[in-house]
Structure 1
Amino acid sequence: MSSDPWGRVDETGTVYVRTADGERVVGSWQAGSPEEALAYFERKYEGLVVEIGLLEKRVKTTDLSSKDALAAIEHLREQVDAHHAVGDLDALRARLDKLVELVDKRREERKAQRAKQSDEARHAKEALVAEAEELARSDQWRAAGERLRALVDTWKGLPRLDRKSDDELWHRFSHARSAFSKRRKQHFAQLDAQREEARRTKERLVAEAESLSNSTDWGPTAARYRDLMTEWKAAGRAQREHEEDLWNRFRGAQDVFFAARSSVFAERDAEQAENLKLKEELAGEAEKLLPITDLKASRAAFRAINERWEAIGHVPRDARPKVEGRMHAVERALQEAEEAEWRRTNPEARARAAGLTGQLQAAVDKLKGQIEQARAQGNTARAEKLERELEGRQALLDQALKGLQEFGG
C-alpha cells in the first residue's frame, strides 16, 4: 500500500483522497505501481489548481461576465466534487467559494457602475436636450446649426438608457432639431424672396443710372445719382451671383457721368481762375484812381475799366465777394465825389439831380424787368450779370435820392 498526506492506494489498487468529510474513492489503478497511481491523480489535481488560478486571474483582470464566470466556477466545482484527483480538494473548494464571492462583488460593482453611468448618461442627455431646445430658438443659423450637429455626435457617444427614458429624451432632442431646421428654412426662404426683390429693384436702379450716364445737366443729374444711391442702400443685398455684377454696372454708370462732369468743371475752374486774375488786375487799376481829384476824368476812367470788367466771365464763387467789393469801394468813392460836386453846383443842380434820379430809377426798373425775363428764360448767366449791374445802378440811385433830399432840405 502506498500513501501521501492527501491520498493512498490500497492492496486492490483503489485510490482514495482525504477530505474534511473523510476519504473518498478517486478511482482504480491497475496499470502500474501505487506510486504511479498517486502521481497520476496528483497531476490531475495540479491541473485543477492551474485551471482555478487561470479563472481567478480572468475574473480579476478581464471584463468576464458574471454569468460566464459562475458557469466556469460551477464546471470546476463539479470536477472537484467528482473526487478524481489527489490533493487538498477542500482548499480548492474554498478558493472556488471565494471566487464566487469575488464574482458577486464584481457584479455588484458593475451594477453600481452601470447605474452611475446610466445616471451620468441621463444627466448628459438631459443637458443635451436642454441645450438643443435653447438652440432651437436661436437666430445664429450657422453657429447654432454646427452646434446641433456636434450635439448629435455627442449623443451617439453616450450609453443608452432604458427604452422609455431614452425614447422620450430623443423625441425632445429630435423635435428641437426639427424646429430649428424649420425656422432656418423659413428664414432663408424669406431671405431669398427679399434678395430677389432687391435684385429687381437694383436692376431698375441700374437701368436708370445707365440712362443718366451721358447727361450734361450736371446739378440735377448729380442730385438724382445721390437719390439712386440712397435707394440702392435701402434695397438690401441681392443674391451673391447678381450683387457684384449689378454694383459694377451701377458704379460704372456713375463713374462715366462724374468723370465727364469733373472734366467740364476742371476746364471751367481753370477759366474762372484766369478770369479772377484779370478782374483782380482791373480792381487794382480802379483803386489807383483814389483819392479822386478829377471827378470827370476818374468817372470816365472807371467806366472804361468797368466795361472791360463786364466783358470778363465768371470767377470762382468763393472769390467773388472780395474782388467785387474792391470795385464797389471805388464806385462808392466816385458817388461820394459826385455828391460833393452836386452840393457845390447852383440851384439848377436840383433839377439835374431830379432828372438823374428819374433816369436811374428808370434804369433800375428796366434792369429788374430784364432780370425777371432772363430768369424766366432760364438764362442764369445773363440774370447774374444783370444783377451785378443792378447793384451798381441801385447804389447810384440811392445816392441820387440822398442828394435830392439834401437839396430839398
Structure 2
Amino acid sequence: MSSDPWGRVDETGTVYVRTADGEKVVGSWQAGTPEEALAYFERKYEGLVVEIGLLERRVKTTDLSAKDAQAAIDHLRQQVDEHHAVGDLEALAKRLSALVETVDKRREERKVQRAKQHDEARTAKETLVTEAEELAQSEQWRSAGERLRALVDTWKGLPRLDRKSDDELWHRFSHARSAFSKRRKAHFASLDAQREDARKIKERLVAEAESLSGSTDWGVTAARYRDLMAEWKAAGRAQRDAEDDLWNRFRGAQDVFFAARSGVFAERDAEQAENLTLKEELATEAEKLVPVTDLKAARAAFRSLNERWEAVGHVPRDARPKVEGRMHAVERAIQESEENEWRRTNPEARARAAGLTGQLQAAVDKLRGQVDAARAAGNNAKADKLAKELEGRQALLDQALKGLEEFGG
C-alpha cells in the first residue's frame, strides 16, 4: 500500500483521495506500482489546476460571455466532484465558487452597461427624431435635405433598441423625412408650374411685341410697349434658357420699333441729347455709391435713381451703351456686395473655402519640399519643372486666401 498527504492506494489497487468528508474512491489501478497510480491521478489534479487557472485568466482578461464562462465552470466542477484526481479538491472547489461570484458580478455589470447603452441609444435616437421633425417643416430645401441624409447615417451607426421602441422611433423619423420630401417635391413642382405659366405669358408678350415692331403709330405703340414691359415684369421668371431667349426677342422687337421711331423723328434728337445729359448726371450720382459701404442704403438709393432713370426716356442710340454701362457697373457693384455679404454669412461656402485653402496649402508645402529635395540631389531640371508647378499652385493659394479673407478670416 502507498499513500501521500492527499491520497493512498490499498493492497487491491484501489486509489483514494482525502476530502473534508472523508476518503473518496478515485479509481482502480492495476497497471503498475501504487506510486505510479498516485502519480497518474496527481497529474490529473495538476491538469485541473491548469484548466481552472486558464479559465480564471479568461474571465478576468477577455470578453468571455457569462454563459460560456458558467458552462466551463460547471464542466470543471463536475470533474472535481467526481473525485477522479488526487490533490486538494476542496481548494479547487473554492476557486470555482469564487469564479462563479466573479462571473455573476461580471454578468450584472454587463447588464447595467447594456441598460446604459440602451438608454443612451434611445436618447440619441429621440434627439434625431426631434431634429428630423423640425427639419420636416423647413423651407431651406438644400441644407435641410443634406442634414436629413446625415441624420440617417448617424441613425445607422446607433445600436438597435427593443423592437417596439425602435420601430416607433423609426416610424416617426421616416415620417418626418417623407413629409419633408413631399413638401420639397410640391414646392419645386409649384415653382416649375409658375415658371411654365410665366413662359406662356411671355411668349404671348413677345408675339405682340414682335407684331408691333413695324408700327408707325409712335405714341400708342410706345405706350403699349411700356404696358408690355410692366406685364413682363409682373409675370415672373420662366426657365433660365427660355427666359434669356424670350427676353432677347422681346427687347429686340422694342429696339426695332424705337430705332425706326428715332429715324423718323430726327427732331427728337435734341430731346434725346437732353435725356443723355440727365442720364449722365444720374450715372454720376450713382457712381458715388461705389465703393459700397452701406449696402442697404446703396440699394435704396440706386432703386430711386433707377426709377428716375426709367422716367427720363431714350437717349441717342450710339450713346446708350456707354451711359447704360455706367449704371450697370454700379448695379453690378451692388450685386457683388450682396453676393459677398451672402457668401460671408454662408457657413457652407466658408467651409468649402477653408477646405480648399487647406488642400492648396498642403499641395504648396509638398511641392516646396520636392523642389528642395531635387535641388539637394542636383536635379535642377526636375527642380525647375516643380518650381513652375509650385508657382501656379501658390497663385491659386493666394487667390483662395484672398477669398477666405472675405469671410472674415
Normalised by the size of structure 1, how large is the TM-score? 0.58
Aligned to 1:115: 115
Aligned to 1:125: 125
Q: Distance in 2 between matches of 1:123 and 1:316?
A: 75
Aligned to 1:103: 103
- Helix, strand or coil for the counterpart of 1:15? strand
Aligned to 1:13: 13
Q: Distance in 2 between matches of 1:166 and 1:25?
A: 58
Aligned to 2:40: 40
Q: How big is the alpha-carbon RMSD for the aligned residues of Structure 1 and Structure 2?
A: 3.4
Q: Distance in 2 between matches of 1:194 and 1:118?
A: 49
CA distances 1:371-406 after superposition (whole Å, capped 9, x unpaired): xxxxxxxxxxxxxxxxxxxxxxxxxxxxxxxxxxxx
Give the aligned residue type for 1:194: Q
Q: Cα offset for 1:144?
A: 1.8
Aligned to 1:146: 146
Aligned to 1:197: 197
Q: Per the alignment, do residues 47 and 187 of structure 1 end up closer, same or farther by CA in structure 2, a change over 3 Å counting?
A: same
Q: Contact 1:2/1:9 (CA < 8 Å) preserved in 2?
A: yes
Q: Distance in 2 between matches of 1:175 and 1:49?
A: 60
After TM superposition, the structure 1 = structure 2 runs for residues 246-265 of structure 1, keeping only pairs within 5 Å, are 246-253=246-253, 260=259
Q: Cα offset for 1:15?
A: 1.8
Aligned to 1:160: 160
Q: Distance in 1 between matches of 2:247 and 2:112?
A: 68
Give the aligned residue type for 1:20: A
Aligned to 1:73: 73
Q: Distance in 2 between matches of 1:155 and 1:120?
A: 13
Aligned to 1:62: 62
Q: Distance in 2 between matches of 1:49 and 1:215?
A: 115
Q: Per the alignment, do residues 226 and 79 of structure 1 end up closer, same or farther by CA in structure 2, a change over 3 Å counting?
A: farther
Q: Per the alignment, do residues 241 and 316 of structure 1 end up closer, same or farther by CA in structure 2, a change over 3 Å counting?
A: closer
Q: Distance in 2 between matches of 1:222 and 1:8?
A: 130
Give the aligned residue type for 1:237: R
Q: Contact 1:9/1:15 (CA < 8 Å) preserved in 2?
A: yes
Q: Distance in 2 between matches of 1:315 and 1:122?
A: 75
Q: Cα offset for 1:67?
A: 1.9
Q: Distance in 2 between matches of 1:122 and 1:143?
A: 26
CA distances 1:7-39 after superposition (whole Å, capped 9, x unpaired): 232332222223233322211111122232222
- Helix, strand or coil for the counterpart of 1:98? helix
Give the aligned residue type for 1:188: F
Aligned to 1:239: 239
After TM superposition, the structure 1 = structure 2 runs for residues 217-296 of structure 1, keeping only pairs within 5 Å, are 225=225, 227-240=227-240, 242-253=242-253, 260=259
Give the aligned residue type for 2:108: E
Q: Per the alignment, do residues 251 and 89 of structure 1 end up closer, same or farther by CA in structure 2, a change over 3 Å counting?
A: farther
Q: Per the alignment, do residues 10 and 203 of structure 1 end up closer, same or farther by CA in structure 2, a change over 3 Å counting?
A: same
Q: Contact 1:213/1:253 (CA < 8 Å) preserved in 2?
A: yes
Q: Per the alignment, do residues 317 and 168 of structure 1 end up closer, same or farther by CA in structure 2, a change over 3 Å counting?
A: closer
Q: Cα offset for 1:188?
A: 2.3
- Helix, strand or coil for the counterpart of 1:143? helix
Using the TM superposition, name which of 249-258 and 59-68 deviates more. 249-258
Q: Distance in 2 between matches of 1:135 and 1:217?
A: 58
CA distances 1:112-146 after superposition (whole Å, capped 9, x unpaired): 11111111112112212211221121111222222
Q: Per the alignment, do residues 263 and 38 of structure 1 end up closer, same or farther by CA in structure 2, a change over 3 Å counting?
A: farther
Q: Per the alignment, do residues 236 and 77 of structure 1 end up closer, same or farther by CA in structure 2, a change over 3 Å counting?
A: same
Q: Per the alignment, do residues 36 and 138 of structure 1 end up closer, same or farther by CA in structure 2, a change over 3 Å counting?
A: same
Q: Per the alignment, do residues 256 and 39 of structure 1 end up closer, same or farther by CA in structure 2, a change over 3 Å counting?
A: farther
Using the TM superposition, name which of 94-103 and 234-243 deviates more. 234-243
Aligned residue pair count: 276
Q: Cα offset for 1:111?
A: 0.8
Q: Per the alignment, do residues 27 and 212 of structure 1 end up closer, same or farther by CA in structure 2, a change over 3 Å counting?
A: same
Give the aligned residue type for 1:33: T
Q: Per the alignment, do residues 241 and 18 of structure 1 end up closer, same or farther by CA in structure 2, a change over 3 Å counting?
A: farther
Q: Distance in 2 between matches of 1:38 and 1:256?
A: 123
Q: Cα offset for 1:194?
A: 1.1
Between Structure 1 and Structure 2, whose CA radius of gyration is higher?
Answer: 1
Q: Cα offset for 1:101?
A: 0.9
Matched residues, percent identical? 83
- Helix, strand or coil for the counterpart of 1:87? coil
Give the aligned residue type for 2:163: R
- Helix, strand or coil for the counterpart of 2:86? coil
Q: Distance in 2 between matches of 1:212 and 1:29?
A: 126
Q: Per the alignment, do residues 215 and 62 of structure 1 end up closer, same or farther by CA in structure 2, a change over 3 Å counting?
A: farther
**Long gaps (5+) in structure 2:** 277-409
- Helix, strand or coil for the counterpart of 1:86? coil
Q: Cα offset for 1:223?
A: 5.9
Q: Cα offset for 1:86?
A: 2.0
Aligned to 2:183: 183
**Long gaps (5+) in structure 1:** 273-313, 320-409
Using the TM superposition, name which of 25-34 and 181-190 deviates more. 181-190
Q: Distance in 1 between matches of 2:70 and 2:141?
A: 55
Give the aligned residue type for 1:112: V
1:2 aligns with 2:2: yes
Q: Cα offset for 1:197?
A: 0.6
Q: Contact 1:218/1:261 (CA < 8 Å) preserved in 2?
A: no
- Helix, strand or coil for the counterpart of 2:128? helix
CA distances 1:280-316 after superposition (whole Å, capped 9, x unpaired): xxxxxxxxxxxxxxxxxxxxxxxxxxxxxxxxxx996
- Helix, strand or coil for the counterpart of 1:26? strand
Normalised by the size of structure 2, how large is the TM-score? 0.58
Q: Cα offset for 1:164?
A: 3.0
Q: Cα offset for 1:254?
A: 5.0
